[in-house]
Structure 1
Amino acid sequence: MEQANHLPRRYIVCVDDDRALLEGLTQQLDAAFADTHEIEGAESASEALHVVEELYNLGSVVEMVISDQVMPGMKGDELLEVLHQRYPEMITVMLTGQAGLDSAIHAINYAGLSRYLVKPWNDDEFIMTIRELLAKYRLEQENKRLFRELQTAYQHLQEAQEQLIHSEKLAIVGKLTAGIAHEIRNQLTILGFAEVIRMAVPDNKQVAQYVQNILDTRSRILSIVEEIRQFAKNQTQSYEKVQISLVNVANTALSIMTYDKEAKRRSIVKDFQTTPILTINPDKIIQVIINLVRNAVQATEENGTITVVITENDSHAILDVIDNGHGIPPELMEDIWKPFFTTKGELGTGLGLDICRRILEGHHGRIYCRSAVGAGTTFTIELPLEDTTTEA
């Protein structure tokens, strides 16, 4: 029993404790099917199980087992039941006398019996029956192969279609962003007068802080436009980084959210358990935190609670944004990361989380989500405690 080099060898295994009958059966099958199958014999159920297992270990395929019913030890129907459990596609045939019909019925019910033949049988009818069973088996296998190929081709077609749609959306976003970026830059020039206001009242610290907030926000708006432009080109953006406390960055983001009228209707709780110092681009991490907090605001009812937690482990700083909102259904958990997917209708673009993920990947960090419907959602970002880049 040698393993074939290319296509698996196909076998028919015959089982009978009467050696003379077994030799006659194998010779009869060999004469009829030598061109397509190897014929193996076994004188007991245990030997048959060993032969079948050895053939499969060699990479061959046992397409059919023909077993006598009355044998010492394990009976034929018991053998075929074991084989059916291990190899459910195998053809099983029982040879039985009139008194063994109950065993044949048992094998039909529990061993997937393909056919039973009552002794004595007509040799021509026997060979014709075996030939029909093998032809049916090959047809079923070919149908399964074609179905698998069809499934694979359909999956590839779906992926290609999704990629095409995604590319078309990116092209549209790219064109829109170029025009929008130009107009935004033009309109933001008016914010330059904020500096004039600060100069007009140099001693007013509150006005100075308001002006600084305006100027910082202008920078972040321009940075967000650039982020979308890079996204549309499917490019990874590099960031200028500095060492800064994550607590300071989170505080800045949350202070900006105090100007959001919907956020004012929620309770935003800080739980800063540590003060990690990171090498990051503060504006981009502020953008990520604002996006996650705003998502939490939209996911909660008025008077809902949003908790921002900062912890760390041996290698990463961890920031959690936890809400007690309506939660995300399990079937949507994978979709929320896809560009252009949104559950906010006209209020959402479906770009926020994807851009957040890109920003964090640019910092060698990551973002993930846990959610339970009716209980709330937790978005977690992890950032390395030590700078892993060589970018300035």
Structure 2
Amino acid sequence: MNNLAILCVDDETIILDSFTEQLRRNLGKTCEIEAAQSGKEALELIEELQGEGLEIALVVSDQIMPGMKGDELLRKIHDLYPKTLKIMLTGEADAQALGKAVNEANLYRYIAKPWDETDLILTVKEALRSYSQEQQLAEQNQELKKLNVQLEQLNASLEQKVVYRTLELQKVALAAEVANKAKSVFLANMSHELRSPLNSILGFAQLLMRSSTLDPKDKDNVEIISRSGEHLLTLINNVLDLSKIEAGRTVLNEINFDLRQLLEDLEQMFRLKAEDKGLQLVFDLPVDLPQYVRTDEVKLRQCLINLLNNAIKFTSEGGVSVRVRKQKATTVEFGNSQQEISCLGDRKEPETIDLSAKRIGSACQFLEFEIEDTGAGIPAVEIDTIFEAFTQIKSQNKYQEGTGLGLAITRSFIQLMGGEIAVKSEVGNGTIFSFDVAVSSVDAAEVETKQQMRREIGLEPNQPRYRILIVDDKWDNRQLLIRLLSSLDFELKEASNGTEAVDIWEVWQPHLIWMDVRMPVMDGCEATRKIRFQESQKQGELAIDRTAIIAITASTFEEERSLILEAGCDDFVRKPFREKIIFEKMAEFIGVRYIYEEEPLQLAAAVSAEPVSEFSLSQDLSTMPQEWIEEMYEAAQSIDNEKILQLISQIPPARDSLGQTLKDWASIFRCDRIIDLIESAN
């Protein structure tokens, strides 16, 4: 016999039978499903069931019933059995009754008639999960109370003191477990809520960057907003990654990619940061390093970024070296003369490594990565704790920014990729982090070529005028997509919930719908199911084109991905998104073809091309006031881009070639070119 029970209350027999039948079909194996046709009968039945040893986890009651109405019943149940969750089921949206139920009966949810079975089961399952979690926490708290009582009963003798210490440790461990679970739930929820407004911040910053009328100072301001938003997003993602790791919800997403290109990108990314601190950055890649491999590129990249960030952050002189090589053995030996901690010797057996099915039969090998710095080093007393979450090196004299999550996340990601991480360090002589990952070599033909970054400025001719529907309950999120897409002459309409979206779809037949997932009235998944159902019904009557539907979600959990695709969405995009992904998805699913802006300031062109001779630039420079030249030289030496752009704005139109060249160099932080030009001219 099941220990949990669900009680359904409705005075209409047909509705009650339908409701209980759906619950028994979906939840009958885990819960007892009971029914009552009045409030009085429900209260009597609850007392009877409790006498039989059943826990009444959930009561679902109709509102309009003779005798005792639903809100009154739920209030009485709350007074008698406060732990029982309550859901109101009604065909009439009685705001006053709902308000009373929420305020006086702690109403858990409200379900409108007629209900959707899928939504009903999901809501009830979530209620049962919430009830079980509350009971578990209550049991743990009760256990803590018992431990406290036991501790109070111990005294005097040495044996009793030993028992006391043991119980105290159990109490601390149990309290820590409760706190960790509560923290993980809180962090995951907060991270989700923060990603939505960040979508607007970063999205509108991207829109401003597209403007050709932005003056250099305003452009710098927008870039600061964007960089700060990206930094905040990184911190939020770290927190969310940790909560997923603790909950065991992190998965491996393997792809084929160019390993050498990944490492070159990281070298370019960190070179300027290293040079700003006067550090050397060296990437040592052997000739036999495989170029094309298969593993989780995103997680590998994040691990390397975390370790490189730390290496540069904690190094004030000398340099940072990155070495990658094929691993010849399954362990990495460190010398005995330095403090070290190594997990590599405890490698899992090969059959326990979580590799995808595509690796079976392919050449699987281990690559070892080493990141070495000449920084302050890590004291022996702290080296055992550096992989713990929210831990930072306490012995550093100055405050270091960050959450203290990077190394904890890095170790978890590396273990997920089939490897382990080790660190050796000597105070005053630097640190070496070493980790290995399992990869498969693949052919170049199996690697998707990354498209060159180009900016979309219009649509190619001879295309239909694409109808795009934007669905989101937040006005600013809708405006972000509207302003982005209206510049390319799409025909646009918007809806604030799923019901409006379905109504507009029926009349307007858009080519593509951008569908937010979480919305009031009707969410994105339910709206998508209704549209797909109506499409299937209409296909037999007349020829209609299938509307592409792409979900937009702030969630990063994989289980939501499967729910979105099962509902009928073609794909999904996570908030905050980049404008590039929006255009790419539209090209992929409805065949939009774009006109791209030429990019004269691309890195390669800006570095190697010389549209203006050095002699001509020197001649133009000699016409500028000496005070201006000295200020430009000082700004270039200080890598003060804001000052450089301010000085460039003072160059007269007749010397436009000089101004444009200096602006090109400043945009890619080639202050050394500016310094060389001034020195050669003098």
Normalising by the residue count of structure 2, what TM-score does the alignment of the two structures yield? 0.30
Normalising by the residue count of structure 1, what TM-score does the alignment of the two structures yield? 0.49
Highest Rg: 1 or 2? 1
